[in-house]
Amino acid sequence: MEDSESVDFDINKENFSWNELENFKFDKIKYAIKNLEEGYFDLNEDEIKKVIGNLKLDKRKNVRSLSSSFYKFILNKNSEISRVRKMYEFDKSFGNHIYTAGVDEVGRGPLAGPIAAGAVILNLNYNEDRELILGIKDSKKLTPKRRCELAKVIKERALAYNIAVINNIEIDKRGISWCNNEVLKRAVEGLKLPVTMALSDGYAVKNLSTNNEFVIKGDTKSASIAAASIIAKVYRDSLMEEYSHLYTNYKFEQNSGYGTKDHIESIKKYGICKIHRVSFLKNIL
Protein backbone atom coordinates (compact mmCIF):
# COMPACT_ATOMS: atom_id res chain seq x y z
CA MET A 1 0.00 0.00 0.00
CA GLU A 2 1.42 3.37 -0.99
CA ASP A 3 1.88 6.14 1.56
CA SER A 4 1.69 9.89 0.97
CA GLU A 5 5.43 9.99 0.24
CA SER A 6 5.12 7.57 -2.69
CA VAL A 7 2.12 9.38 -4.11
CA ASP A 8 4.16 12.58 -4.36
CA PHE A 9 7.20 10.75 -5.70
CA ASP A 10 8.55 12.22 -8.94
CA ILE A 11 10.89 9.75 -10.63
CA ASN A 12 12.63 12.40 -12.72
CA LYS A 13 13.23 14.80 -9.83
CA GLU A 14 14.53 12.00 -7.63
CA ASN A 15 16.90 10.82 -10.38
CA PHE A 16 15.49 7.34 -10.06
CA SER A 17 17.73 4.65 -11.51
CA TRP A 18 17.00 0.95 -11.96
CA ASN A 19 20.75 0.34 -11.58
CA GLU A 20 20.78 1.82 -8.08
CA LEU A 21 17.70 0.34 -6.44
CA GLU A 22 19.48 0.07 -3.10
CA ASN A 23 19.17 3.87 -2.79
CA PHE A 24 15.36 3.77 -2.87
CA LYS A 25 12.72 2.51 -0.49
CA PHE A 26 10.36 -0.31 -1.42
CA ASP A 27 7.31 1.93 -1.82
CA LYS A 28 9.13 4.19 -4.28
CA ILE A 29 10.30 1.21 -6.32
CA LYS A 30 6.77 -0.14 -6.36
CA TYR A 31 5.50 3.25 -7.48
CA ALA A 32 8.11 3.34 -10.26
CA ILE A 33 6.90 -0.06 -11.48
CA LYS A 34 3.34 1.21 -11.49
CA ASN A 35 4.46 4.03 -13.76
CA LEU A 36 6.14 1.55 -16.08
CA GLU A 37 2.96 -0.52 -16.26
CA GLU A 38 0.88 2.53 -17.08
CA GLY A 39 3.33 3.39 -19.85
CA TYR A 40 3.53 -0.17 -21.13
CA PHE A 41 3.32 0.73 -24.82
CA ASP A 42 6.40 2.93 -24.53
CA LEU A 43 8.56 0.12 -23.12
CA ASN A 44 10.93 -1.96 -25.19
CA GLU A 45 12.19 -5.49 -24.55
CA ASP A 46 15.62 -4.33 -23.34
CA GLU A 47 14.07 -1.99 -20.75
CA ILE A 48 11.83 -4.77 -19.46
CA LYS A 49 14.76 -7.18 -19.10
CA LYS A 50 16.80 -4.50 -17.33
CA VAL A 51 14.06 -3.77 -14.79
CA ILE A 52 13.38 -7.43 -14.03
CA GLY A 53 17.10 -8.24 -13.80
CA ASN A 54 17.84 -5.44 -11.32
CA LEU A 55 14.84 -6.31 -9.20
CA LYS A 56 16.02 -9.91 -8.95
CA LEU A 57 19.49 -8.81 -7.77
CA ASP A 58 18.20 -6.63 -4.92
CA LYS A 59 19.02 -7.84 -1.40
CA ARG A 60 15.50 -7.17 -0.12
CA LYS A 61 13.03 -10.04 -0.47
CA ASN A 62 10.02 -7.76 -0.98
CA VAL A 63 11.82 -5.93 -3.81
CA ARG A 64 12.84 -9.21 -5.46
CA SER A 65 9.20 -10.31 -5.31
CA LEU A 66 8.31 -7.32 -7.51
CA SER A 67 10.26 -8.89 -10.37
CA SER A 68 7.78 -11.79 -10.47
CA SER A 69 4.71 -9.56 -10.35
CA PHE A 70 6.09 -7.23 -13.04
CA TYR A 71 7.04 -10.19 -15.26
CA LYS A 72 3.54 -11.61 -14.81
CA PHE A 73 2.05 -8.23 -15.75
CA ILE A 74 4.10 -8.20 -18.97
CA LEU A 75 3.05 -11.75 -19.87
CA ASN A 76 -0.62 -11.00 -19.21
CA LYS A 77 -0.50 -7.76 -21.18
CA ASN A 78 1.17 -9.46 -24.14
CA SER A 79 -1.39 -12.26 -24.01
CA GLU A 80 -4.28 -9.80 -23.90
CA ILE A 81 -2.92 -7.82 -26.84
CA SER A 82 -2.58 -11.03 -28.83
CA ARG A 83 -6.14 -12.09 -27.94
CA VAL A 84 -7.73 -8.77 -28.87
CA ARG A 85 -5.59 -8.41 -31.99
CA LYS A 86 -7.03 -11.73 -33.21
CA MET A 87 -10.55 -10.39 -32.60
CA TYR A 88 -9.82 -7.35 -34.77
CA GLU A 89 -8.25 -9.56 -37.45
CA PHE A 90 -11.32 -11.82 -37.34
CA ASP A 91 -13.51 -8.85 -38.23
CA LYS A 92 -11.19 -7.86 -41.07
CA SER A 93 -11.35 -11.40 -42.48
CA PHE A 94 -14.85 -10.79 -43.85
CA GLY A 95 -13.53 -8.58 -46.63
CA ASN A 96 -11.99 -5.22 -47.31
CA HIS A 97 -14.92 -3.18 -46.01
CA ILE A 98 -14.43 0.46 -45.06
CA TYR A 99 -17.00 0.29 -42.27
CA THR A 100 -17.73 -3.03 -40.57
CA ALA A 101 -20.23 -2.92 -37.73
CA GLY A 102 -20.73 -5.42 -34.94
CA VAL A 103 -24.22 -5.74 -33.50
CA ASP A 104 -25.58 -7.58 -30.48
CA GLU A 105 -28.66 -7.49 -28.30
CA VAL A 106 -29.32 -7.80 -24.60
CA GLY A 107 -32.58 -8.34 -22.76
CA ARG A 108 -34.34 -10.97 -24.85
CA GLY A 109 -35.30 -13.09 -21.86
CA PRO A 110 -36.28 -10.76 -18.95
CA LEU A 111 -39.81 -10.49 -17.60
CA ALA A 112 -39.63 -6.70 -17.54
CA GLY A 113 -38.03 -3.82 -19.37
CA PRO A 114 -36.98 -3.30 -22.98
CA ILE A 115 -34.80 -5.24 -25.31
CA ALA A 116 -31.74 -3.25 -26.39
CA ALA A 117 -29.11 -3.63 -29.09
CA GLY A 118 -25.76 -2.00 -29.62
CA ALA A 119 -23.97 -1.49 -32.92
CA VAL A 120 -20.33 -0.43 -33.07
CA ILE A 121 -17.88 0.42 -35.84
CA LEU A 122 -14.28 0.09 -34.67
CA ASN A 123 -11.13 1.25 -36.40
CA LEU A 124 -10.01 -2.15 -37.69
CA ASN A 125 -7.14 -0.60 -39.64
CA TYR A 126 -5.28 0.53 -36.54
CA ASN A 127 -1.59 1.46 -36.75
CA GLU A 128 -0.36 0.50 -33.28
CA ASP A 129 -1.37 -1.96 -30.58
CA ARG A 130 -2.05 0.96 -28.23
CA GLU A 131 -5.11 1.70 -30.39
CA LEU A 132 -6.68 -1.67 -29.56
CA ILE A 133 -9.47 -1.67 -26.98
CA LEU A 134 -8.09 -4.22 -24.55
CA GLY A 135 -10.46 -6.14 -22.31
CA ILE A 136 -13.37 -6.50 -24.72
CA LYS A 137 -15.14 -9.85 -24.52
CA ASP A 138 -18.58 -11.32 -23.89
CA SER A 139 -20.23 -8.69 -21.67
CA LYS A 140 -21.60 -11.37 -19.33
CA LYS A 141 -18.03 -12.37 -18.43
CA LEU A 142 -17.16 -8.89 -17.20
CA THR A 143 -17.90 -7.32 -13.83
CA PRO A 144 -20.38 -4.40 -13.84
CA LYS A 145 -17.54 -2.00 -13.01
CA ARG A 146 -15.34 -3.28 -15.83
CA ARG A 147 -18.25 -3.17 -18.30
CA CYS A 148 -18.84 0.48 -17.46
CA GLU A 149 -15.16 1.31 -17.85
CA LEU A 150 -14.99 -0.42 -21.22
CA ALA A 151 -18.26 1.10 -22.45
CA LYS A 152 -16.77 4.54 -21.89
CA VAL A 153 -13.58 3.65 -23.80
CA ILE A 154 -15.56 2.05 -26.64
CA LYS A 155 -17.69 5.16 -27.08
CA GLU A 156 -14.60 7.38 -27.06
CA ARG A 157 -12.62 5.32 -29.58
CA ALA A 158 -15.28 3.86 -31.86
CA LEU A 159 -15.70 5.41 -35.28
CA ALA A 160 -19.45 5.25 -34.63
CA TYR A 161 -21.88 3.58 -32.24
CA ASN A 162 -25.62 3.39 -31.78
CA ILE A 163 -28.04 1.89 -29.27
CA ALA A 164 -31.60 0.93 -30.18
CA VAL A 165 -34.38 0.01 -27.76
CA ILE A 166 -37.81 -1.60 -28.08
CA ASN A 167 -40.05 -1.37 -25.04
CA ASN A 168 -42.19 -4.00 -23.33
CA ILE A 169 -45.41 -2.74 -24.95
CA GLU A 170 -44.08 -3.44 -28.44
CA ILE A 171 -42.67 -6.76 -27.26
CA ASP A 172 -46.14 -7.80 -26.07
CA LYS A 173 -47.69 -6.57 -29.30
CA ARG A 174 -45.20 -7.89 -31.85
CA GLY A 175 -43.60 -10.83 -30.04
CA ILE A 176 -40.02 -11.18 -28.86
CA SER A 177 -38.70 -12.82 -32.06
CA TRP A 178 -39.79 -9.91 -34.25
CA CYS A 179 -38.52 -7.37 -31.72
CA ASN A 180 -35.19 -9.16 -31.36
CA ASN A 181 -34.55 -8.91 -35.09
CA GLU A 182 -35.94 -5.39 -35.35
CA VAL A 183 -33.84 -3.94 -32.54
CA LEU A 184 -30.68 -5.33 -34.17
CA LYS A 185 -31.77 -3.86 -37.50
CA ARG A 186 -32.46 -0.45 -35.96
CA ALA A 187 -29.13 -0.43 -34.16
CA VAL A 188 -27.17 -0.97 -37.38
CA GLU A 189 -29.25 1.31 -39.55
CA GLY A 190 -29.05 4.09 -36.97
CA LEU A 191 -25.26 4.34 -37.29
CA LYS A 192 -24.05 7.61 -38.80
CA LEU A 193 -21.53 5.97 -41.11
CA PRO A 194 -22.34 3.92 -44.24
CA VAL A 195 -22.00 0.33 -43.03
CA THR A 196 -20.90 -2.12 -45.71
CA MET A 197 -20.77 -5.22 -43.49
CA ALA A 198 -22.65 -6.06 -40.30
CA LEU A 199 -21.50 -8.90 -38.08
CA SER A 200 -24.23 -10.25 -35.82
CA ASP A 201 -24.03 -12.66 -32.90
CA GLY A 202 -25.58 -16.08 -33.40
CA TYR A 203 -27.89 -15.55 -36.34
CA ALA A 204 -28.50 -13.34 -39.34
CA VAL A 205 -30.49 -10.11 -39.13
CA LYS A 206 -33.44 -10.24 -41.53
CA ASN A 207 -34.21 -7.37 -43.93
CA LEU A 208 -30.99 -5.55 -43.12
CA SER A 209 -29.99 -3.02 -45.78
CA THR A 210 -26.34 -4.09 -45.89
CA ASN A 211 -24.19 -7.20 -46.11
CA ASN A 212 -24.59 -9.37 -43.02
CA GLU A 213 -22.65 -12.31 -41.64
CA PHE A 214 -23.64 -14.09 -38.45
CA VAL A 215 -21.02 -15.48 -36.08
CA ILE A 216 -21.65 -18.27 -33.60
CA LYS A 217 -20.40 -17.10 -30.19
CA GLY A 218 -19.59 -13.83 -31.90
CA ASP A 219 -18.97 -11.88 -28.70
CA THR A 220 -15.95 -14.11 -28.00
CA LYS A 221 -14.54 -13.97 -31.57
CA SER A 222 -15.38 -10.55 -32.96
CA ALA A 223 -14.06 -7.26 -31.55
CA SER A 224 -16.98 -5.31 -33.00
CA ILE A 225 -19.64 -7.68 -31.67
CA ALA A 226 -18.02 -7.78 -28.22
CA ALA A 227 -17.95 -3.97 -28.12
CA ALA A 228 -21.60 -3.82 -29.17
CA SER A 229 -22.51 -6.35 -26.49
CA ILE A 230 -20.83 -4.26 -23.80
CA ILE A 231 -22.42 -0.91 -24.63
CA ALA A 232 -25.87 -2.52 -24.96
CA LYS A 233 -25.53 -4.32 -21.62
CA VAL A 234 -24.34 -1.20 -19.78
CA TYR A 235 -27.10 0.91 -21.29
CA ARG A 236 -29.89 -1.54 -20.42
CA ASP A 237 -28.60 -2.23 -16.90
CA SER A 238 -28.43 1.51 -16.26
CA LEU A 239 -31.96 1.93 -17.54
CA MET A 240 -33.24 -0.85 -15.30
CA GLU A 241 -31.52 0.75 -12.33
CA GLU A 242 -33.41 3.97 -13.09
CA TYR A 243 -36.65 2.00 -13.27
CA SER A 244 -35.88 0.52 -9.85
CA HIS A 245 -36.42 3.98 -8.33
CA LEU A 246 -39.89 4.19 -9.89
CA TYR A 247 -40.93 0.60 -9.22
CA THR A 248 -39.31 -0.14 -5.89
CA ASN A 249 -40.90 -3.52 -5.18
CA TYR A 250 -39.08 -5.54 -7.84
CA LYS A 251 -35.35 -4.94 -7.20
CA PHE A 252 -34.68 -4.15 -10.86
CA GLU A 253 -31.30 -2.73 -9.84
CA GLN A 254 -30.30 -6.28 -8.91
CA ASN A 255 -32.11 -8.50 -11.41
CA SER A 256 -32.37 -6.17 -14.45
CA GLY A 257 -35.86 -7.54 -15.02
CA TYR A 258 -34.85 -11.20 -15.28
CA GLY A 259 -37.01 -13.86 -13.67
CA THR A 260 -35.12 -14.41 -10.44
CA LYS A 261 -36.83 -16.07 -7.50
CA ASP A 262 -37.21 -12.76 -5.65
CA HIS A 263 -38.56 -11.02 -8.74
CA ILE A 264 -41.21 -13.70 -9.33
CA GLU A 265 -42.23 -13.60 -5.67
CA SER A 266 -42.58 -9.82 -5.92
CA ILE A 267 -44.84 -10.15 -8.96
CA LYS A 268 -47.07 -12.61 -7.11
CA LYS A 269 -47.19 -10.31 -4.08
CA TYR A 270 -47.52 -6.88 -5.71
CA GLY A 271 -48.76 -7.64 -9.21
CA ILE A 272 -47.14 -6.18 -12.30
CA CYS A 273 -45.90 -2.68 -13.11
CA LYS A 274 -45.91 -0.69 -16.34
CA ILE A 275 -42.68 -2.14 -17.68
CA HIS A 276 -43.52 -5.82 -17.23
CA ARG A 277 -43.94 -7.98 -20.33
CA VAL A 278 -47.41 -9.42 -19.85
CA SER A 279 -46.87 -11.99 -22.59
CA PHE A 280 -43.98 -13.44 -20.57
CA LEU A 281 -46.01 -13.86 -17.39
CA LYS A 282 -48.77 -16.27 -18.42
CA ASN A 283 -47.35 -19.06 -16.27
CA ILE A 284 -46.80 -16.77 -13.29
CA LEU A 285 -49.96 -14.68 -12.95
Residues annotated within the binding site for a divalent metal cation are 104-105, 201
- Known binding residues: 104-105, 201
DSSP codes joined into one string, the chain: ---HHHHT--TTTTT--GGGGGGS-HHHHHHHHHHHHHTGGG--HHHHHHHHHHHHH-S-HHHHHHHHHHHHHHHHHHHHHHHHHHHHHHHHTT---S-EEEEEEE-SS-SBS-EEEEEEE--SS-SSGGGS-TT---GGGS-HHHHHHHHHHHHHH-SEEEEEEE-HHHHHHH-HHHHHHHHHHHHHHT-SS--SEEEEESSPPTT-SSEEEEETTHHHH-HHHHHHHHHHHHHHHHHHHHHHHHSTTS-HHHHTT---HHHHHHHHHH---TTB-GGG-TTT-
- Concatenating the DSSP letter of every residue in 115-155 gives EEEEEEE--SS-SSGGGS-TT---GGGS-HHHHHHHHHHHH
